[in-house]
Amino acid sequence: MNILSIYIGYIMDLIIGDPYSFPHPVRYIGKLIKVTESKIRKFAKSDEDLKKGGFLLWFITVGVTYLVTYLIVKLSSFIPGGFLIINSILIYTTLATKCLKDEAVKIYKVLKTGDIEKSRIQLSYIVGRDTTHLDEGEIIRATVETVAENTVDGIIAPMFYAFIGGAPLAMAYKAINTLDSTVGYKNEKYLNLGFASAKIDDVANYIPARIAVLLMAIGSLILGYDYKKSFQIAIRDRKNHKSPNCAYPEGAVAGALGVQLGGINIYFGEVVYKPTIGDKVRNIEMEDIVKTNKIMYATSIASMIIFTIIFNII
């Protein structure tokens, strides 16, 4: 029943995506984080207190998310067909295939019009870096990197945890990921409070990011892209990122497309240099956004099939 729920949730995500009017659970997780953060900051004055408070923030957010989801799923099982419906809907909300594709396509379409300023604004909705002065190539690179990285965060990882522990564990992962994207920054405000969230997100994504190397190579094979280079570059350049996980999916996409990712970015006014990932066989171009979306979709299909096989055997 859980595997059937995952398939239904996956199909729902492909068809519906994340409508802006939909009361997405992540919004409530975000509100919980903000409320809890404000309470902790009232009492935590020193750096050490903030770091301890960060662990409390993580425990409350993830614990409440898991418990609430578990209770909803448990109560739904008392209604005929309730478990299948509720578990499927909740799993659907943890996946982001169509949403990622749609956001990338918006940037692609604006770029096609030649409106760089509007492209920068559109990109700013999905990245944390400063997009104010990016040129066309940098906008394309940022979009490709974001889709590649979020293929793990938005598809492979929640799917992986859904297969292990259904909607409660998948939603708990979503809370972990939301914490990282909300407070997991190495700036003055969140260096201490966000320490736990950033580190635990790295742990949660450790296995999914490495599984992604194989899955994205399979996706590239399905599409007729360079699957050998996809695998090779992901392994070769796996340490070319401050994150212990991000270089894996970015390397897989860079290898498959024959482009180079990484370089200089600006986050909150600070210049951050990222080592390059991939070989510059050719210059990155607009169509690489579309190709990266295709890799993401093919990877999601490969993930469903392989996870089903593995967890049926186990």
**Cα 107 from Cα 91, distance rounded (Å):** 27
pLDDT in the model for residue 273 = 74
**Cα 289 from Cα 126, distance rounded (Å):** 14
Q: Which string of b and e fits 51-75 if b means at least 16 CB within 10 Å?
A: bbbbebbbebbbebbbebbbebbee
pLDDT in the model for residue 129 = 79
pLDDT in the model for residue 22 = 79
Tell me the whole-structure pTM to 2 decimals: 0.94
Beta bridge partners of 270: 267
Q: Residue 8 — pLDDT band, cuts 50, 70, 90?
A: very high
DSSP letters along 112-132, please? Answer: HHT-HHHHHHHHHTT-SS--T
Mean pLDDT (whole number) for 82-92: 96
Cα(first)–Cα(last) distance of the chain, in Å?
16
**Cα 169 from Cα 160, distance rounded (Å):** 10
pLDDT in the model for residue 112 = 96
Q: Residue 9 — pLDDT band, cuts 50, 70, 90?
A: very high
Cβ(103)–Cβ(20) below 8 Å = no
27 lies in which domain range? 2-313
Instruction: Give burial (CB, 10 Å; 0-12/13-18/19+) of 39.
Output: middle
Split into its structural domains, the chain has a count of 1
Residue 133 has pLDDT above 90, yes or no: no
pLDDT digits (tens, 9 = 90+) for 233-279: 999 999 999 899 999 999 999 999 999 998 776 665 666 778 999 99
Average pLDDT, the chain: 94
pLDDT in the model for residue 270 = 65
